Structures are given as C-alpha cells and as structure tokens.
Amino acid sequence: MPQLTSPRILELILGVVLLLSLMGCVFGLTGFTSAARTGRRFRRWKSVNASADLEQVYQQTIARVQVLAEELAQVRQELDRIRTTLQSKVSTPEVLRFNAFPEMGSDLSFSLALLDDRGDGVVLSSIYGREESRVFAKPVRGGQSDYPLTDEEIYVIQGASQPPEGETVRSRARPVQM
C-alpha cells in the first residue's frame, strides 16, 4: 500500500484540491452573478409595482383584465349594432346616363338606383325632352319593383345590387337601342 506522504500522491491530492477549488470559484461566481441579476430584476419590478405584495398585484391584474373583457364585450355589441344599421343604408348608388330621344343628341336622361345591402330602396329615372322633363320614382324590394321597369332601371338595379370590390359610385353613359 503506497504511503500518503509520498510526493507523487501529495501532488495528485494537491491537484484534485486545486481543481475542486477552481470549480467552487466558478460555481460561486456564477451564483453571485445570477443572484445579482435577479436582484436587479426584482428592484425594477418593485419600482413599477410600488408594493411588493404579489397577491395584491395579482388581484389588480385580474381586475384590469375583467374591466377590459367588459369593455371588449361592449365594443362588440356596438359593432354588431353598427353592422345591422349599415345594412339598411344606401351602400352603392348606380347611375346610368342615356339618350332617351335620338334627335336630342345628348345623354341628358338618367336612371339612379339607391339600394341598401338587401336590395331595398328606390330607383329614380329622369327623362329629358325638349319641352319637358319627367322624373319617376319606383320603390324596390329585394332588387324587384311592383312597377314596370325600363331596361335602364333594371340595369342600374342590377349594378347597385352587385358592386365591384372597392368601388362605391359608378356612372356609365349607354345609348338606348331602339
């Protein structure tokens, strides 16, 4: 059995002790920096939240979330009300100018459809003549009218019922074929 006092064994023990001391220093330094970082975070958090009572902060957070949830519910109700209201408003007017009488030489007559999203509303038509002008208004329900419709009125009702994406008011000049 080798002696514990032999120089070789003492060097080995000394090396192990130095290695363990070095590892202890590394672990200690790591722990110290971690604790310092945690302390800084806590001080920063404490400065934001004046009281360090976590239960109180938790209760305040829950109360704020409940208030926000109630406000969100109110906003959603208001949005639904606005959407319902908008469905009954004129969404896309459609205008068509045309020449009712070929000898007049200009597109002075027109048909105008004012419909909501359900196709309800009115179609207005003005027929311009040399001696007089006449304006007609016909109610429209679901894109149909109980009154006879001209080709121009049908055209504007269909255009107002199916507006292209992103377009609101359109005006087209189209001669009437006779």
Dihedral sign for Cα 32, 36, 41, 43, please.
positive
Does residue 82 have a pLDDT over 50? yes
Whole-number pLDDT of residue 51: 56
Taking 3-state DSSP, the helix, strand and coil percentages for the chain, each rounded to the nearest 5, stand at 50, 20, 30
Whole-number pLDDT of residue 130: 79
Whole-number pLDDT of residue 50: 59
Does residue 89 have a pLDDT over 60? yes
Place of tokens 């330094």: 29
Provide the pLDDT confidence category of residue 176 given band limits of 50, 70 and 90. Answer: very low
Mode of pairing for the β-strands spanning 121-128 and 109-115: antiparallel
What type of residue is 22?
Answer: L
Mode of pairing for the β-strands spanning 133-140 and 170-173: unpaired
Whether 86 and 117 have beta carbons less than 8 Å apart is answered as: yes
Does residue 47 have a pLDDT over 80? no
What would the two tokens of residue 42 be? 């806590």
Whether 94 and 160 have beta carbons less than 8 Å apart is answered as: yes
